[in-house]
Amino acid sequence: MTLEDLIQKLELTPFTTPKDFPAIHPTGGYASDLLSCAMAGAKPGNVWVTLQSHVNIVAVAALTEVCGVIISEGAQPEAAVIEKANGQGVTLLGTKLPTYQVVGKLWELGIH
């Protein structure tokens, strides 16, 4: 399963400049809206699901080396957040689905 597969199957909207999504293979998933929990629990290569959309998620994503952040529940990052994410090589994706549904769909697709 690649990040490109996830984008297509979950109908995710890329907020950041597309990377080589077909070459990125998520190693697992993590869901939390608490940044301190994400810093402690998200692993390199994971897909992180959160409804947070502020600039601090970029720092946490870069620190934990997740392969992408799925911003759930229709939250929209501001232009400055997207610019910072692009500058740090952090992939931000969006969906209107609730976090619970995103996590369930990721599990069904084999992202454990």
- What residue ranges do the domains of the chain occupy? 3-108
pLDDT at residue 91, rounded to an integer = 97
Tens-place pLDDT, residues 48-79:
999 999 999 999 999 999 999 999 999 999 99
Element (H, E) at 40: helix 35-41
CATH topology of domain 3-108: 3.40.1390
Q: Give the DSSP letter of residue 31.
A: E
CA-nearest of 55, 56, 62 to 82 is: 55
pLDDT at residue 30, rounded to an integer = 98
